Structure 1
Amino acid sequence: MLQKIILGIAIFLIVMLGLTFGEAIFTYLSSYLGFLFHDFISLMKDIQGYLMVHWGKALIALLITVPLVIWISKNKKDEMSKPNSHRKIAIVLAIFLGWLGVHRFYLGQIGMGLLFLVLFAIWAPLAYFLALIDALRYAFMGDDDFKLVR
C-alpha cells in the first residue's frame, strides 16, 4: 500500500513537471534544488501559492496520475516485487525526494524517514546531501546487502 502511495506521489510530481514544462516551475526548481531551502514552512507556503495559481494543472495531473497508478499496480505487479525494482525506485526517490526522507519511508525505515524530515526542518542542505549519499549507496550496494536494508 505504501509503495502505491509513493508511486502515486512520484507520478503526480512527474506529471505536474510535464504540464508546467517551460513555465514557472523552472524558477521554483532552481530556487529549491540548490542549497536554498530556508525552512520547511516557507517551502510549504511556496507550494501552496503555486497550487493556488496553477490549480487546474494540479487537477489535470491528479486525473492523469490516478489511472496510471492503478494501471501500473495491476500490470506491473510482478516487476515491482523484484528486489532490483525496489532498489531502482529507492534510488530515484533518494535523488528527487530524499531530502524529505521519502526513500527511507519507501524502504520501511519510518524512524530514519522522520529523522530526515527533522533534519530538513533544521538544516535542509545536509538532508539533501545525505539523501544523495543514500542514492549512491543503494546504487553500488550488492543485492544481498540491499535486502538487509529493506
Structure 2
Amino acid sequence: MQGRVLPVPITITVEKLARLSGTPGRPAVVDVRTYQVFLAHQRHVPGSLVRASDRIAEWAPRVRGRSVVVVCEYGRRNSYGVAAWLRGAGVEAEALQGGISEGRRAADFRPARSVTATSRAALSGSRGPAPRSTASPAPG
C-alpha cells in the first residue's frame, strides 16, 4: 500500500534567527498571527512583515526569491501551514520553532510601540500597503 508523504515542518530556532538578524543574508520574517492575537500579546520580531495567513496567495509573490521565516504565536499550526504553502510555491521558508511565545521567554522580541491602521488592515486581511512592524531594532 502506497501512502501519501506529508511534508515535515522545517523550523528555525529563536537563537539562530537572532544570529541572522542584521546580516546581509537575513531572512524576511512574516508574522501571520490573527489581529486579535497580535493585539493581545503586543510582541513581535523587529522588522517583521505582518500578513494575513488566509490571503497568502495575494502576498506570496512579493517574497519569492527571498528566504522567509514565518512566525505565529506558538510556532505550530499557522506558521507550519504558511511555511509549507510557501515552500510549495518555490519560496525557501521555515517556521519559527516555538513562535513568538518562545522569543518572549528568551526576551529576543520587543513590545510593539503601536498598532497602526495599516497594520490593523494587514492583520485583518484587507488590501493595502504592506506594513513593517513598528518595533525598534534590537541593539547591537
Q: Which of the five TM-score ranges fits, normalised by the shorter chain?
A: under 0.3
Structure with higher helix content = 1
**Alignment TM-score, normalising by the size of structure 2:** 0.25
Say which structure, 1 or 2, has more relative contact order (CA 8 Å, 6+ apart).
2
Structure with higher strand content = 2
